[in-house]
């Protein structure tokens, strides 16, 4: 991996059920510098609500949400003030 602020960190949370996709995202975000981006791919439809809510509560932003077949893909930006 190059510079995590410029690169997009890929996180595979397919076949994981609530709350595991959010926990994986949280653990990943904690290790990254501000302004990093994470693309998390999930199969649990509950993540359509859970990930945006977690981001809002923790000071991060969902930049995009995409559905591809059975996958829900979120591009999350770690804001400077977020944990």
Active-site residues, by number, are 18
In angstroms, what CA-CA distances link 58 with 22, 28, 69? 12, 13, 29
User: How many residues are present in the chain?
Assistant: 83
Cβ neighbours, 10 Å, residue 78: 26
Cβ neighbours, 10 Å, residue 2: 6
4 and 32 Cβ atoms separated by less than 8 Å = yes
């Amino acid at each position: 991996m190059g510079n995590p602020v410029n690169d997009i960190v890929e996180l595979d949370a397919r076949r994981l059920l609530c709350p595991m996709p959010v926990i994986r995202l949280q653990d990943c975000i904690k290790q990254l510098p501000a302004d990093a981006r994470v693309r998390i791919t999930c199969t649990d439809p509950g993540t359509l609500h859970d990930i945006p809510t977690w981001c809002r509560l923790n000071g991060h932003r969902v930049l995009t949400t995409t559905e591809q077949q059975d996958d829900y893909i979120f591009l999350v930006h770690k804001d400077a003030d977020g944990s």
